[in-house]
Structure 1
Amino acid sequence: MRITSPKSRLSASLSLAGLLAFGSTSLANADTYDMPHLLVIGTPGTSSGSFASTNGWGPMLQQELGSNVRVVPEDSEIQRHRRLTERRDLLLSSVSAAELRFQIQGIGHYATMMPVPQRVIWHHNDTPWTFVVAGDSDLHSMDDLKRSGLRVAQGQFSIPMMTTVRDGLPAFLGMTPEESATHFNFIAASSYVENCRSVIEGRADVAYCASVSSVMAELEGAPGGIRWLAMDLDDEAGWQRFLEHSPMAVPGPITMGVASARGVDGLASNFLYAAPADLDEALAYTLARWFHQAFDRYKGSHPLSTRMSLEVFRDYLDRSPLPIHEGTVRYLKEIGAWTEEDDRWNQEAIEKMDSWISARQAALDEAKEKGIQPGRNNQAFMAIVEKHTHGLEGFRTRL
């Protein structure tokens, strides 16, 4: 059976037309709230679709709600997370659901960082991804990647991307980790742009990229162009192996981005606007209300902004494993877009996140007590982390 993205499963009691009609209600008629003077939003780097689309709606929010909006590009996922949760100089972060899973479960370097519970404020986009090669490459299918000695770009700026390339790709191809280690030459890339450009510049044979990022338009227009490798949705066994390493991915055809990618089988990686759980409820409520009610005004500012509609967000809620902020929940309840079933899974998600946060904090406390330096390459520390987190259920898309 062919794997496809799940369709929206709105409750019969919800009228989407009515919900969208509610969006025409003037914000001026809503309860007033004093917005913070400065609203700082972190996104991936300047060549990312997340940065461009946030800059599309940011000026509109500033004009309508009176908060000075500053969009800060930060290619390093770890540094953006640190700024959001430790330094607190970001109020929101555009982050993939996959990255959020790593942050909450303390995977890789995140294990050494202060564990902070987070909440989803609104859906940002569902970015399409797959593997790309140069247009004149003799690699035409995923099966061609089974050749020995291929150079695979591996971005060092995102742990989930590293995991997808290092573990997910060979798993999809049916390789063991040992076979992968001898089969591929992984080429380090310090930024997303460097990662994708590597196939055009001849430093790598294949790279894992998003079809909607601006750098892909540049590469598509380069001499020879680019070509996308289809991750065949009929390959159920391959996808099951892949999802063991990228459990937040949603398989499906690519429908957005550069022309060369459209129609190619790949996956969607949901990006979300997230914040620490202690973000003021009234602020989260006000942002959620604005994202919904102002949608028709900002949806044309960037193609990815069309994925911020209530309909798309509601579809995501049917499969989200991540907790939604209480301010957003309050707004969705007011307009009839939240159900008792949503309350149940959201509470389960909150409890699951709290379990991970508590276990990781206990691991850090024990390490401090024993004088063990936190480090992902410190076996003594990672053993403590494993002891405290063993048996906890990980986050996985609710398919």
Structure 2
Amino acid sequence: MIKTTIFTKRLLIGVLSTVSFFAHSAENIELPSTLAMTAYGTGSAGYTQMVSIGNLLKNEYGTSVRILPGENDVSRMTPLRMGRVPLCACGIASYYGSEGVLLFADPQWGPQSIRLISTSTASFGLGVAVAGDINVKTPADLKGKRVAYIRGDDALNIGTEAFLAFGGLTWDDVERVEFPGYGRSFEGIVANQVDAAFTMSVAPPAQQLSASPRGIVWPELDPENKKGWQRLQTVAPYFQPHKVTSAAGENYGKDSPWIGATYPYPILVGNESLDDKTARNLVRVLIEDHDKYKDAAPGNAGYSLENQNMQWVIPYHDAVVEYYKEIGHWTDAMQAHQDGLVKRQGLLKTTWESFMGSNPPEGEDAFRSGWMEARAKALEAEGMEAVFR
């Protein structure tokens, strides 16, 4: 069962004792001569970060990194599923894949045995950006306001739903305004066709809204509001409280952060079958050589040891777990959480196999409905939250 702590403690067990271990380049690194991965499109933060890490791997260890940019979740995840690349610098779709939901509730997909290598949790946040001229201070203030719904973009819409839930609201409590794409939704805010839309706090559309006559506000998510956070994480358990020091708007910065939320981006994952040597040596480089690449691209600071959430929603690769044990950065609570996530993935996999072998209904909607029902029953029978229905 996923037990997402409302106030995530990134435990730094034994860090002081390992400072000298991280003082120089990682030693005895063994990586393939070529390492391929998928990532977001060129120009994205994720792609830029992978290029900077690729430069480090080439210059320090002779490993050439081949990055395949993908413009959507399918194009990023398919090469990983097919075994064409060992890694994906993905977004939150990696979590949806491990759960077998949304676009993965499809005969060609199902739950994926994905394992976490590392994540970046940097100074930015993710949440609902609101026009600054409608007097919204918290998610509860969105009641009756016009909120963007993006056709075909589950991640953005679930993020919006989660923020509404924090304020005790649902889509029924707001005026839902549909848009064909993410960019159009922010054009709609500027044009006063809608009041709020989900985005990254430093994204260009948020900056454009900030510079418009309407301005921008980021509704506060009080970390002491336990019921609010419980409601939010029931919808989207991958969010965590965050003091956001990089956000569009003149009222936000290091001295006046947005008390909001975030989840990691990018999320570097491989399949469970990724060989131990690659997984272990890659995480070693990311942690031990962090000073060498942390300033090479925006967001790279988020790969540091202290920015790793050790009890998140995707299980770590076994070799990564062993590495953290060796450096004293692993606890019994972390192991219990890891075991629960691995058990969950195993249950989802066997449930999928059983469902697919039971002559599942034809038709996209009927198939998805049947799978989601079977999935929820199996999880709840083991005392685990279904999260998605």
Bin for the TM-score computed over the shorter chain? 0.7 to 0.9
| CA RMSD across the alignment | 3.1
Deviation at 1:287, TM superposition (A): 0.6
Instruction: Indicate the SS of the match to 1:363.
Output: helix
Deviation at 1:378, TM superposition (A): 5.3
Q: Does 1:118 align with 2:118?
A: no
Aligned residues of 2:6 and 2:241 also touching (Cα < 8 A): yes
Select the residue among 46, 56, 63 that pairs with 1:60. 56
Q: Who is 1:42 aligned against?
A: 39
Runs of 4+ in 1 over 6 A off after TM superposition: none
Q: Who is 2:21 aligned against?
A: 22
Deviation at 1:50, TM superposition (A): 2.6
Q: Who is 1:81 aligned against?
A: 77
Aligned residues of 1:170 and 1:176 also touching (Cα < 8 A): yes
Q: Who is 1:10 aligned against?
A: 12
Select the residue among 287, 293, 296 that pairs with 2:288. 293
Deviation string, structure 1 residues 113-157 (Cα, Å, up to 9, x no partner):
23321111012225512221334x32432344212xx43222345
Q: Who is 1:270 aligned against?
A: 264
Q: Does 1:282 align with 2:309?
A: no
TM-score (norm 2): 0.82
Identify if the C-alpha distance between structure 1 residues 176 and 268 changes in structure 2 by more than 3 Å, giving closer, same or farther.
Answer: closer
Deviation at 1:252, TM superposition (A): 3.5
Q: Does 1:216 align with 2:213?
A: no
Identify if the C-alpha distance between structure 1 residues 303 and 375 changes in structure 2 by more than 3 Å, giving closer, same or farther.
Answer: same
Aligned residues of 2:148 and 2:177 also touching (Cα < 8 A): yes
Aligned residues of 1:134 and 1:225 also touching (Cα < 8 A): yes
Aligned residues of 1:230 and 1:265 also touching (Cα < 8 A): yes
Identify if the C-alpha distance between structure 1 residues 386 and 352 changes in structure 2 by more than 3 Å, giving closer, same or farther.
Answer: closer
Distance 2:277 2:45 in 1: 28
Deviation at 1:201, TM superposition (A): 4.5
Between 56-65 and 274-283, report the one with greater CA deviation: 56-65
Select the residue among 221, 231, 242 that pairs with 2:232. 242
Deviation at 1:184, TM superposition (A): 1.6
Q: Who is 1:365 aligned against?
A: 357
Deviation at 1:296, TM superposition (A): 0.5
Identify if the C-alpha distance between structure 1 residues 387 and 365 changes in structure 2 by more than 3 Å, giving closer, same or farther.
Answer: farther
Deviation at 1:111, TM superposition (A): 1.6
Deviation string, structure 1 residues 75-102 (Cα, Å, up to 9, x no partner):
42344233322x3344322335x54442
Residues 181-192 of structure 1: pairs in structure 2 closer than 5 A? 183-191=174-182
Instruction: Indicate the SS of the match to 1:69.
Output: strand
Aligned residues of 1:171 and 1:242 also touching (Cα < 8 A): yes
Q: Who is 2:217 aligned against?
A: 227
Deviation at 1:203, TM superposition (A): 4.3
Residues 68-147 of structure 1: pairs in structure 2 closer than 5 A? 68-85=64-81, 87-96=82-91, 99-112=93-106, 113-126=109-122, 127-135=124-132, 137-142=133-138, 143-147=140-144
Distance 2:146 2:51 in 1: 35
Identify if the C-alpha distance between structure 1 residues 46 and 359 changes in structure 2 by more than 3 Å, giving closer, same or farther.
Answer: same
Aligned residues of 2:101 and 2:111 also touching (Cα < 8 A): no
Q: Who is 1:171 aligned against?
A: 165
Aligned letter for 1:302?
A
Aligned letter for 1:364?
M
Aligned letter for 1:238?
G
Structure 2: state its 5+ residue gaps.
none
Instruction: Indicate the SS of the match to 2:343.
Output: helix
Identify if the C-alpha distance between structure 1 residues 231 and 329 changes in structure 2 by more than 3 Å, giving closer, same or farther.
Answer: closer
Instruction: Indicate the SS of the match to 1:125.
Output: coil
Identify if the C-alpha distance between structure 1 residues 122 and 234 changes in structure 2 by more than 3 Å, giving closer, same or farther.
Answer: closer
Aligned residues of 2:100 and 2:112 also touching (Cα < 8 A): no
Distance 1:50 1:255 in 2: 19
Identify if the C-alpha distance between structure 1 residues 275 and 376 changes in structure 2 by more than 3 Å, giving closer, same or farther.
Answer: farther
Deviation at 1:223, TM superposition (A): 5.6
Select the residue among 299, 315, 320 that pairs with 1:328. 320
Aligned residues of 1:61 and 1:69 also touching (Cα < 8 A): yes
Aligned residues of 2:238 and 2:263 also touching (Cα < 8 A): yes
Instruction: Indicate the SS of the match to 1:253.
Output: strand
Deviation at 1:235, TM superposition (A): 4.1
| Percent identity for Structure 1 against Structure 2 | 21
Between 275-284 and 112-121, report the one with greater CA deviation: 112-121
Instruction: Indicate the SS of the match to 1:199.
Output: helix
Aligned letter for 2:10?
S
Deviation string, structure 1 residues 35-82 (Cα, Å, up to 9, x no partner):
142422323x45643333333323222322333323344342344233
Aligned residues of 1:187 and 1:204 also touching (Cα < 8 A): no
Distance 2:86 2:188 in 1: 33
TM-score (norm 1): 0.80
Identify if the C-alpha distance between structure 1 residues 47 and 213 changes in structure 2 by more than 3 Å, giving closer, same or farther.
Answer: farther
Identify if the C-alpha distance between structure 1 residues 170 and 185 changes in structure 2 by more than 3 Å, giving closer, same or farther.
Answer: same
Identify if the C-alpha distance between structure 1 residues 94 and 265 changes in structure 2 by more than 3 Å, giving closer, same or farther.
Answer: same
Distance 1:225 1:56 in 2: 34
Deviation at 1:23, TM superposition (A): 1.9
